[in-house]
Amino acid sequence: MWILDSCARGGQAEFWERGRGGRHVTLPALSSFLLHLPDPHSFRDMLEGLESRYWVEESTIRTIYGPLDGYRVWAGKDVAARIEEQTRYAAQVYDADVRPDLRLLAEKGRFPCSGDDEPRFSVGVSHDLSVVEVSAGKNPFLRGPLPALEVEADGRRVKLDGGERVVLSDLSELLSSCDPDVILFPHADLWVPRMAARARELGIETGLSRSGRFRRLSRKSYWSYGRTEFRAGALIPDGRLLIDTCGSFHYRESGLSGILLGARLSCLPPNLVSRFSSGSLISSYEVYEAKRRGIAVPWRKADAEGVRCLPALRSVDRGGMIFQPAPGIHASVHEIDFTSLYPSLIVRDNLSPETLVHPEKRGFLPEVLEPLLAMRRRTKEMKASDPRYAGLDALLKWMLVTCFGYTGYRNAKFGRIEVHEAITGSAREVLIRTRDIAEEMGFGVLHGIVDCLWVEGGDIRALRERVERETGLHAVTDTYDWIVFLPMADSSGAYNRYYGRLQDGSMKSRGVAARKGDTPAYIRDVQQRMLQVLVQAETLSEVAGLRDQLQALHRDARDALPSADPSSMAVSRRIGTLDYRRACAEASAVEACRAEGVDLSPGMEVRFVVTDARTWTVELDWKAARFDAGYYRGLLEKAWEEVVFAVEQAERQVRGTARPPEVRGGSGAAKAISGDEQETPLPPAP
């Protein structure tokens, strides 16, 4: 059975198969949880009360730390919550919030989005799902009647128009006739609730759900990786995969194949995979692996961190290591990058909550992460020759990135802060040892950041082989014809702002205007065209010879800016709060949204155009008719400075006037920053 969708309702788990008709299977899935009491005799009256109302049986609870004596209680988590309160949280509850459909699949060794003979950890995701694309108006926030729809099915595009009743009826008829497995719909999570509500008022079906029913996913604002994120509420149809192609991070990064692989690994239905964070996927993956092994999953963490003295905390809580670069341009530079360094260290060093006390045991985290690491290494190699694997590699990358942050999350099912600190400690040692090896082999170290090192000179293949041999970690290398490390405002080297030409003729860039999500389209397009000119240069002398051509692009863009389309000046910003205490563009954007009746929540992205930077007056992107040319000219100049810096540095080197990089500590041109000087820990995922 190729499972496309699943859910739990009324004590039953429901599964839908792909294909026309979507075969529907229902299995009993009664709620239960495991209960451990440190002193059962002290709670005899409570146990007797439980036994009089629910089915209670003695049970051995297998945890990652070892077995516990306890009970299985056939009741829901509301009962578990009352037990916690009555025992003043002395009770330890397990499995209370494990999804019933996931638990059933784990017990049977099954998983979604895979045939009976397809291995779960295969890097290939084959499917023959039928796909329909639906699109509505460009702006889902505009009030008024539902707009016309465009539907692409079976290779033909149809426009549905003629009023709300006609549009919804035609959509229902079309979806019933082609019965797709997948619906791709930009802004679906904003449009579908409106469509479903209007269809209900008109007494018709939308046809989006195979059963006519929807599950409701509540909207949510949460804190993750240093900023406020937002997950839109959604109506999820039964039996079909409905993807909000604009709102789904995993779809944008990984495509449909990535969503299916995420479902196969996490054992979540793909509808949820497309809407959940990478942290939720890795958490569900760990829960599935625990249940598959018969390990109980704690409901509430009781061991997030042990008690330690302040000197001990200072010695271990130091984050990642950075070697600060000297700003400038360098020719023939090699980059050595450890593949998924942090999860690799979990596996290599056997880091898991239970191994802190018993290091001789094989830990739960290393055991379950090892297959994902093997998959990531294969997809990273394969995407170089086959772009179809890029999406799968992106999904695995994000899952593995968040598995590290998750070890330090206080509510993580299998996390502990000491494990988080041990991982960053090992990573610092690895980067320092890699630097030492490079210098022993005659390389000059230019820059390093957590899991990457940039070096000059020598045989990079020999360096990689020795580093892999001594660290036991997998690494990949790239070679640049030239690379630029940009300066910060104080003229020191920026840690994560650079670009350069790889030997295959492509441009790799990080942290520049063209890579930033809030850069207006006009500015991004200008800098991208400049970088396309720069990438044609193979040597520093050729870079130096591009000044006139680049200046012409800059001059034309500056002259054309006042007459540009205001929509191309839209800035996209994430709203951190609805109550800003200072004047800023975001505060004005919040007020503009309120004026238009847009229901905002912290973490949502808002697109607006700055019309007066002095007072931070803005207009929402769909209403903007003008813009503050001076403000956007300043953004254009910043983007130009990032590009012309390379030309200026190349001209100095060609003329022989470039100063050698100033050694400010650390190694070569790089200054080592770590510990109390600079921390770069990854915050936990939600």
pLDDT digits (tens, 9 = 90+) for 530-582: 999 999 999 999 999 999 999 999 999 999 999 999 999 999 999 989 999 89
Whether the CB-CB separation of 638 and 514 falls below 8 Å is answered with no
CB proximity list for 632: less than 8 A, separation 6 or greater: 520, 522, 523, 561, 569, 610
Chosen CATH of 131-280 out of 2.30.230, 3.30.420, 1.10.357, 3.40.720: 3.30.420
Whether the CB-CB separation of 655 and 398 falls below 8 Å is answered with no
Both tokens of residue 120? 């779960």
In the chain, % of residues over pLDDT 90: 78
- Fold designation for 308-381+408-511+670-686: Palm domain of DNA polymerase (3.90.1600)
- The pLDDT score that the predictor gives to residue 359 is 93
- Rounded Cα–Cα distance for residues 191 and 147 (Å): 10
Whether the CB-CB separation of 660 and 652 falls below 8 Å is answered with no
Q: Which range, of 45-49, 235-239, 598-602, averages the lowest pLDDT?
A: 598-602
Q: Is the pLDDT of residue 474 over 80?
A: yes
Both tokens of residue 531? 């970088």
**Hey, what long-range contacts does 522-527 have (CB within 8 A, 24 or more apart)?**
522/557, 522/561, 522/564, 522/565, 522/568, 522/569, 522/632, 522/636, 523/632, 523/635, 523/636, 523/639, 525/568, 526/553, 526/554, 526/557, 526/636, 526/639, 527/639, 527/640, 527/642, 527/643
Query: What is the average per-residue pLDDT within 314-328?
Result: 84
- The pLDDT score that the predictor gives to residue 667 is 40
Q: Which range, of 7-16, 81-90, 223-232, 657-666, averages the lowest pLDDT?
A: 657-666
Both tokens of residue 451? 């899991």
Mean pLDDT score across all residues of the chain: 91
- Rounded Cα–Cα distance for residues 175 and 295 (Å): 43
**pLDDT bracket for residue 684 (50, 70, 90):** very low
**CB-based burial of residue 157 (10 Å sphere; 0-12 exposed, 13-18 middle, 19+ buried)?**
exposed
**CB-based burial of residue 333 (10 Å sphere; 0-12 exposed, 13-18 middle, 19+ buried)?**
buried
Helix (H, G, I), strand (E, B) or coil at 683: coil
- The pLDDT score that the predictor gives to residue 657 is 57
Domain locations in the chain as residue ranges: 3-108, 131-280, 308-381+408-511+670-686, 566-626
Q: Which residue has the higher pLDDT, 188 or 116?
A: 188
Both tokens of residue 173? 């008829």
Q: Is the pLDDT of residue 675 over 60?
A: no
- C-beta neighbour count of 3 within 10 angstroms: 22
- Rounded Cα–Cα distance for residues 402 and 281 (Å): 9
**CB-based burial of residue 644 (10 Å sphere; 0-12 exposed, 13-18 middle, 19+ buried)?**
middle
C-alpha angle 320-321-323 in degrees, rounded to nearest 5: 150
Q: Is the pLDDT of residue 664 over 70?
A: no
SS3 content of the chain, % helix, strand, coil (to 5): 40, 20, 35
Query: What is the average per-residue pLDDT within 59-77?
Result: 96
The predicted-structure confidence for 503-512, as pLDDT tens digits, reads as follows 999 999 999 9
C-alpha angle 63-64-66 in degrees, rounded to nearest 5: 65
- Rounded Cα–Cα distance for residues 438 and 216 (Å): 55
In the chain, % of residues over pLDDT 70: 95
Query: If you classify domain 566-626 with CATH, what class do you get?
Result: mainly alpha
- Rounded Cα–Cα distance for residues 316 and 428 (Å): 11
Length of the chain in terms of residues written: 686
Both tokens of residue 160? 């549905």
**What HEC string does 385-400 produce?**
CCHHHHHHHHHHHHHH
Distances (CA, A) of 288 to 37, 67, 75, 278, 357: 25, 19, 21, 15, 25
Return left, alpha or beta for 668; rule: phi > 0 is left, psi -120 to 50 is alpha, else beta: left
Q: Which residue has the higher pLDDT, 653 or 222?
A: 653
CB proximity list for 229: less than 8 A, separation 6 or greater: 221, 222, 223, 277, 574, 603, 686
Distances (CA, A) of 531 to 225, 415, 525, 540, 649: 30, 43, 10, 15, 16
Closest Cα to residue 511, out of 484, 537, 546?
484
Closest Cα to residue 28, out of 7, 41, 14?
14
Helix (H, G, I), strand (E, B) or coil at 141: coil
Both tokens of residue 242? 């409905």
- Tokens 């769909």 locate to 622
Whether the CB-CB separation of 418 and 306 falls below 8 Å is answered with yes
Closest Cα to residue 224, out of 405, 420, 424, 423?
405
Q: Is the pLDDT of residue 407 over 90?
A: no
Q: Is the pLDDT of residue 186 over 90?
A: yes
Q: Is the pLDDT of residue 387 over 50?
A: yes
List phi, psi (to 5°) of 528: -60, -40
- Rounded Cα–Cα distance for residues 530 and 524 (Å): 10
Taking the alpha carbons at both ends of the chain, their separation in whole angstroms is 32
- The pLDDT score that the predictor gives to residue 672 is 60
Q: Is the pLDDT of residue 620 over 90?
A: yes
Q: Is the pLDDT of residue 679 over 50?
A: no
- The pLDDT score that the predictor gives to residue 673 is 59
**CB-based burial of residue 380 (10 Å sphere; 0-12 exposed, 13-18 middle, 19+ buried)?**
buried
According to DSSP, residue 626 is labeled -
Q: What is the dihedral of CA 230, 236, 241, 245, to 10 degrees?
A: -30
Closest Cα to residue 76, out of 53, 43, 59, 108?
53
- Fold designation for 3-108: DNA Polymerase; Chain A, domain 1 (3.30.342)
- Which stretch of DSSP H or E encloses residue 332? strand 328-338
- Rounded Cα–Cα distance for residues 294 and 272 (Å): 24
DSSP one-letter string for 175-198 = HHHH--SEEE-TTHHHHHHHHHHH
Whether the CB-CB separation of 93 and 80 falls below 8 Å is answered with yes
**What HEC string does 417-472 produce?**
HHHHHHHHHHHHHHHHHHHHHHHHCCCEEEEEECCEEEEECCCHHHHHHHHHHHHC
Whether the CB-CB separation of 480 and 500 falls below 8 Å is answered with yes
Q: Which range, of 20-24, 130-134, 346-350, 587-591, averages the lowest pLDDT?
A: 20-24
Based on DSSP, count helices (H) and strands (E) in the chain, helices before strands.
Answer: 19, 27
Closest Cα to residue 599, out of 189, 24, 120?
189
